[in-house]
């Protein structure tokens, strides 16, 4: 399969009717840059490094070959592709298939803000190459389905736990759902790389759970093995962060591979309190 096997908003960009397809020089996504939070001091060489520089939105350019048997057909196909790429009511889902079977895709939310002047060719203006430039407001690509990283029982000793299900990603996981199960008197979770911390400032019985939506700063208590519903307990869960996501899990090199680790500890644990991090794998 070519490197430019894309599907936009559910529409394969390699059209089965051969009306349009990505031109062969269409490339892959542009790697996002990082903003530098470094501080320069007078009379000191260089900058003082500060960690945590935010990523700016990535981008992608897709050159579409659009054709028709007549100029009229070409123009109608041109209008359809323009309408597909330049929708403005929402971001569009772009799928990139890595293999012929379509079993290893990546997804991103993309806004195609502009096109460029069509390069017309063929007698009668029956075909053109049209570049479309898109940006990724959410920066990262993701896998097809969310995965569950399940921890062993949490103890009183702060323990570093690998989030095995997230292995293979290479970008911050900043929008996870985190579900904790009792029993404990209080619980602390921490990203091993950034130190971002979640504090569960409440006791929880062995039949109770708290589900935290880290991106939306919400927490709900439930009394069964579910991921929805429950009672609002926002005031019982706090974050060391003042903005962005409540906690972000970032990869680190361990044993020559990128892995994700969380540190966890509890006061007054009994039974087998544990944590499940449910998230997409994220990619730069």
In this prediction, residue 3 carries a pLDDT of 62
What is the phi-psi region of residue 129: left when phi exceeds 0, alpha when psi lies from -120 to 50, beta otherwise? Answer: beta
Indicate if 31 and 69 belong to the same structural domain.
yes
Q: State how many domains the chain has.
A: 2
Indicate if 193 and 119 belong to the same structural domain.
no
| Strand, helix or coil for residue 204 | strand
Q: Give the span between the Cα atoms of 252 and 168, in whole angstroms.
A: 11
Judge whether residue 116 has pLDDT over 70: yes
In a domain, 225, yes or no: yes
In this prediction, residue 4 carries a pLDDT of 73
pLDDT category of residue 46 using cuts at 50, 70 and 90: confident
Indicate if 165 and 126 belong to the same structural domain.
no
pTM for the model stands at: 0.89
In this prediction, residue 247 carries a pLDDT of 97
Q: Give the span between the Cα atoms of 197 and 183, in whole angstroms.
A: 20
In a domain, 1, yes or no: no
Judge whether residue 35 has pLDDT over 90: no
In this prediction, residue 233 carries a pLDDT of 98
pLDDT in tens, 228-259: 999 999 999 999 998 899 999 999 999 999 99
Please, is 40 exposed, middle or buried when counting C-beta atoms within 10 Å of its C-beta (0-12, 13-18, 19+)?
A: exposed
- Using an 8 Å Cβ cutoff, are 230 and 207 in contact? no
139, 156, 190 — which closes off a domain? 139
102, 120, 139 — which closes off a domain? 139
pLDDT in tens, 144-189: 999 999 999 999 999 999 999 999 999 999 999 999 999 999 999 9
Range from 36-40, 211-215, 261-265, 270-274 carrying the lowest mean pLDDT = 36-40
Q: Give the span between the Cα atoms of 265 and 165, in whole angstroms.
A: 20
Which range marks the domain in which residue 27 is found?
6-139
H/E stretch holding 81 reads helix 71-85
CATH number, domain at 20?
A: 2.40.30.200
């Amino acid at each position: 399969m070519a490197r430019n096997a894309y599907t936009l908003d559910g529409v394969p960009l390699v059209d089965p009717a051969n009306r349009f397809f990505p031109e062969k020089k269409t490339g892959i996504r542009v790697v996002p840059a990082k903003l530098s939070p470094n501080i320069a001091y007078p009379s000191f060489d260089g900058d003082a490094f500060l960690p945590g520089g935010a990523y700016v939105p990535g981008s992608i350019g897709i050159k579409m070959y659009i054709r028709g048997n007549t100029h009229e057909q070409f123009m109608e196909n041109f209008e359809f592709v323009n309408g597909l790429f330049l929708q403005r009511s929402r971001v569009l889902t772009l799928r990139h298939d890595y293999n012929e079977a379509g079993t290893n895709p990546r997804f991103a939310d993309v806004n195609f803000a502009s096109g460029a002047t069509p390069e017309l060719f063929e007698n009668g203006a029956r075909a053109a190459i049209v570049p479309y430039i898109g940006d990724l407001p959410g920066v990262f690509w993701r896998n097809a389905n969310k995965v569950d990283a399940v921890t062993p029982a949490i103890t009183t000793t702060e323990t570093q736990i690998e989030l095995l299900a997230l292995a293979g990603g290479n970008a911050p996981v900043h929008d996870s759902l985190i579900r904790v199960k009792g029993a404990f008197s209080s619980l602390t979770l921490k990203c091993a790389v950034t130190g971002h911390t979640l504090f569960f400032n409440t006791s929880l019985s062995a039949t109770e759970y708290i589900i935290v939506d880290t991106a939306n700063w919400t927490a709900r208590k439930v009394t069964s093995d579910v991921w929805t519903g429950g009672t609002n307990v926002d005031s019982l869960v706090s974050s060391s962060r003042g903005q962005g996501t409540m906690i972000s899990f970032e990869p680190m090199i361990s044993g020559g591979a990128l892995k994700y680790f969380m540190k966890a500890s509890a006061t007054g644990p009994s039974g087998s309190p544990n944590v499940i991090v449910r998230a997409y794998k994220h990619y730069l």
